[in-house]
Structure 1
Amino acid sequence: MTTEASLSAAEQNKALVDRFFQTYAAYDLETMRNEILAPDVRWHIPGRHPLSGTHEGVDEVIAFFDRLGSAGFKADRIYFGADDNHVVDVHRGWSELGDGNDIDMTWVLLWRIENGRVVEATNFAQDQAGADTFFHHAFRLAPVSQRLA
């Protein structure tokens, strides 16, 4: 029987990211908050869309995943590689909105892990323009006059 203590740091890091995917699939944001993400986590989302930018702190990152879940966004891992402080994850990410504006592409995340918690993640889309289009559709901005008020 393998115990966590007998796993290498790289294996522990892959297990942590795998657990993240399990909690995301179960929409278990509290476990994500309390057991996976560091309080000062930073999550980088590239692009020019309503969810892009750097989300700082566990509250902002949880809010991001809450919004992402509301768009029916799902993820299935394809590959994990890891060392003592990083995981590279390749996964299929897709939505099932059913309105002709769904997304289905490969994503790569670079995770940085310290003391058994995710402290930083950077997301890379297979097709950034396609990701921007999807997120603009799924998360429409209020009219400029309302945003400036």
Structure 2
Amino acid sequence: MTEPIPAAVAETYFAALGRGDIPTVMAQFSDDVLWHQPGAHQFSGDHHGVAGVGALLSGMMEASAGSFQLAVAGPPMVNGDVVAVPVRFSGNSAEATMDMAGIDLLTVRGGKIVEVRLFSEDGPAEDAFWGLN
């Protein structure tokens, strides 16, 4: 059996994320995935492993009172095992609203996401939304 190509793994990941299918989202990650969250807010920094990424995503949903959403905003761009996906993400909290474009960069090896790097169009606004460290 051949392993899924990186674009297919990314497609499965984002489709599951859009449906709120967290078990399928988490199944796309390698056990030792490394997630790089940009910025200077409470969620910034490196998050290791499925448990670390799960805690990050759960924390973001809690901080946004379940309002955080991410949608694919354009076709994926593939270079070997790296997939760049334009996204739009938004959320609401008691203190702020966020709605901006970004790029999610996924490295896929062995049919699993091994690394995630995120880029936001307005880092200071994202920091303000999530709450500075």
The alignment's TM-score, normalised by the length of structure 1, stands at 0.77
- Determine which of 100, 109, 113 is the counterpart of 1:105: 100
Give aligned pairs, total. 129
Aligned partners of 1:37 and 1:117 also within 8 Å: yes
More strand by share: 2
Deviations 1:18-56 (A, max 9, x none): 2112222233222222x3000000000111110010001
Deviations 1:89-112 (A, max 9, x none): 111101144x46110000111111
User: Are 2:88 and 1:92 equivalent residues in the alignment?
Assistant: yes
Q: Identify unmatched segments of 5+ residues in structure 2.
A: none
Aligned-pair CA distance for 1:84: 2.6
Aligned partners of 1:27 and 1:69 also within 8 Å: no
Indicate the percent of aligned positions where both proteins have the same amino acid: 24
* Aligned match of 1:36: 28
User: Are 2:77 and 1:81 equivalent residues in the alignment?
Assistant: yes
Q: Structure 2 matches for 1:43-58, cutoff 5 A? A: 43-58=35-50
* Aligned match of 1:26: 19
Structure 1 runs, 4 residues or longer, greater than 4 Å off: none
Counterpart CA distance in 2 for 1:115 and 1:105 is 32
Q: Identify unmatched segments of 5+ residues in structure 1.
A: 142-149
Aligned-pair CA distance for 1:74: 0.5
Amino acid aligned to 1:51: F
SS across alignment from 1:24: helix
Aligned partners of 1:29 and 1:62 also within 8 Å: no
Greater RCO, CA 8 A, separation 6+: 2
The root-mean-square deviation of aligned C-alpha atoms, in Å, is 2.2
User: Are 2:125 and 1:125 equivalent residues in the alignment?
Assistant: no
Question: Who wins on radius of gyration, i.e. which is larger?
Answer: 1
More helix by share: 1
Aligned-pair CA distance for 1:85: 0.4
* Aligned match of 1:145: none
